[in-house]
Structure 1
Amino acid sequence: MSTSLGVTRPNQVSYMLRAAAGDAGRAYKQQMIDLLDIAHGQTVLDAGCGPGTDLPALAEQVGKDGRVIGIDRDPAMLAKARERTSGLPAVEIREGDVHALPVAAESVDRAKIDRVLMHVADPAEVLAQLHRVTRPGGVVGLVEPDWDTLVVDAEDLDTSRAFTRYTTDHVVRNATIGRSLARLADGVGFDVRTVVTTTPVFRDFHDADHTLGLGRTMHLAIDEHHIDQQRGHRWFTGLSTGQFYASFTLITVICSR
């Protein structure tokens, strides 16, 4: 990849840890934990736990008599999650696919899935799995972005719009899953209780380039002839000068079984 189009694709473990550590990441994750209303002694499932960014906070919520189950299918993610939780006896890490959760039916009190459904083959099946493993009266939290709402400020508004359209049509598998969460959750039998939105705002160009993949995605759009090369390079270069702004909408849905 040309260095003029930003950073290369980052290591996924490092990428997820950095995204979670940012102000926007910390804010919506804390909001999710608060809305789940986790009590001491409960069993909590983190489906698609990644490198375990949320597992310590969940372990703190359930206390010494509770249990936290983190599930992921990526060996690198599992290794990092185990490393991060090695001193937390309440946490158990399991390898598994969110389409077929290795968890007994009606065995968890709380469950969460965070920015995973946008990548999966069948979001409705994953939600059905979460419904299966949650006890009656249990609470489940879902968080996903709506990439159609991605905006990047630039003098060349047409290229910004083309960039967002390319992202939604070609880069993210389920790019508008955020807006569909409530409908899909209702469809598998959940009672939707709360829908809230947050808007992560990026004012630092380099942070946005790393998190949103501005250069990486533009490189792909140029290679696949969706955006002209000179136009794409000019747009990207312009973003790095002066004030920078980008944002998107993140949707959180809290539902009960």
Structure 2
Amino acid sequence: MTSSAFETDTPHPIVYLDRVAATDHGRSYKGRMRDELDICPGQTVLDLGCGPGTDLASLAQAAAATGAVIGVDHDRAAVDAARERTAGQHTVTVRLGDIHDLPLPDRTADRARTDRVLQHVADPVRALREIHRVLRPSGRLIMGEPDWDTLAVDHPDSGLSRAYTQFVTDKVVRNARIGRQLPRLATEAGFAVPAVIPITSVFRDARAADEILGLERTTQRAVAAGYLTEEGAQRWLDHLSTGPFFAAVTLYLVVAES
């Protein structure tokens, strides 16, 4: 079960995050997140799950020289990369920390963002309560999270497509349906939720989709888990690599206010 069209090796996490950010889809939704944050000069902004610091510079630009940007991530390698990338930017600091137990005092920040982070955490509600704790009254949180149950990949055998998406939602992503759940979870954590903005990424090129979705790697895992047969998986990959390609998935931007 192979296809020369797709990657077989898992990219390094930092390489993958940089790759997503550099796509048209990535630039578009990240720009919309910044717009919805509505950062004013002088404000303190948190990037929670900041990864290698992809977005810290643009947040610092919005907060200006009188503001402050604090990146927090649980991964030491990501924190080191973020510190290196923002060296010399005096308004930016990066801290090693757990989103469930933020290393920050109460009412620290005016703005906060999470970008595809809550889909992976152990306890999203606990994380949201922590964010609520560190935001000042009338603070704003913008969350960008996919709902992997919306993943649609066209194939002549729709059963293969359903099995693939079911595997992703059941086994690949811890909180795979977090996108649709966020308005409720944020409300439970004490936020008001004035807006939910759906952003659907559409892929017409198989290789571009593979760079985000890891089509062959995920298919191999689906076979090992019993969601697809070897024969079905090969038919799946053969069509995706040679036929007209279409895939789409929806990410939800959830605006929350403390």
**Cα distance change on mapping 1:3 and 1:11 into 2, 3 Å:** farther
Looking at structure 1, the residues matched to 143 and 11 of structure 2 have their Cα atoms a distance apart, in angstroms, of 25
- CA-to-partner distance for each residue in 1:42-86, whole Å, 9 max, x for gaps? 000000001111101100000011100000011121122112211
TM-score by length of 1: 0.97
Looking at structure 1, the residues matched to 52 and 33 of structure 2 have their Cα atoms a distance apart, in angstroms, of 18
Alignment-derived partner of residue 64 in structure 2: 63
Q: Does 2:162 align with 1:172?
A: no
Q: Does 2:227 align with 1:226?
A: yes
Give the total of aligned pairs. 257
Alignment-derived partner of residue 255 in structure 1: 256
Matches within 5 A, 1:18-97: 18-97=19-98
Query: Contact 1:154–1:160 (CA<8 Å) still a contact in 2?
Result: yes
3-state secondary structure, aligned to 1:121: coil
Q: Could you tell me how far 1:149 is from its partner in structure 2?
A: 0.2
- CA-to-partner distance for each residue in 1:201-231, whole Å, 9 max, x for gaps? 1122112112112111110111122210011
Looking at structure 1, the residues matched to 89 and 3 of structure 2 have their Cα atoms a distance apart, in angstroms, of 41
Structure 1: which 5+ residue stretches go unaligned? none
Alignment-derived partner of residue 125 in structure 1: 126
Q: Which one-letter code corresponds to 1:74 in the other structure?
A: D
Q: Which one-letter code corresponds to 1:110 in the other structure?
A: R
Query: Contact 1:7–1:210 (CA<8 Å) still a contact in 2?
Result: no
3-state secondary structure, aligned to 2:16: helix
Alignment-derived partner of residue 203 in structure 2: 202
Query: Contact 1:148–1:168 (CA<8 Å) still a contact in 2?
Result: yes
- CA-to-partner distance for each residue in 1:161-216, whole Å, 9 max, x for gaps? 11000100111100000001110111111111111100011122112112112111
Alignment-derived partner of residue 216 in structure 1: 217
Runs of at least 4 residues off by over 3 Å: 1-6
Looking at structure 1, the residues matched to 238 and 82 of structure 2 have their Cα atoms a distance apart, in angstroms, of 37
TM-score by length of 2: 0.97
3-state secondary structure, aligned to 2:136: strand
User: Percent identical across equivalent pairs?
Assistant: 50
Looking at structure 2, the residues matched to 176 and 109 of structure 1 have their Cα atoms a distance apart, in angstroms, of 28
Q: Which one-letter code corresponds to 1:255 in the other structure?
A: A
Q: Could you tell me how far 1:6 is from its partner in structure 2?
A: 3.4
Query: Contact 2:2–2:216 (CA<8 Å) still a contact in 1?
Result: no
Q: Could you tell me how far 1:33 is from its partner in structure 2?
A: 0.6
Alignment-derived partner of residue 153 in structure 1: 154
Query: Contact 1:117–1:174 (CA<8 Å) still a contact in 2?
Result: yes
Structure 2: which 5+ residue stretches go unaligned? none
Looking at structure 2, the residues matched to 219 and 144 of structure 1 have their Cα atoms a distance apart, in angstroms, of 25
3-state secondary structure, aligned to 2:61: helix
3-state secondary structure, aligned to 2:125: helix
Looking at structure 2, the residues matched to 136 and 125 of structure 1 have their Cα atoms a distance apart, in angstroms, of 19
Looking at structure 2, the residues matched to 185 and 222 of structure 1 have their Cα atoms a distance apart, in angstroms, of 36
3-state secondary structure, aligned to 1:200: strand
Q: Does 2:191 align with 1:181?
A: no
Alignment-derived partner of residue 18 in structure 2: 17
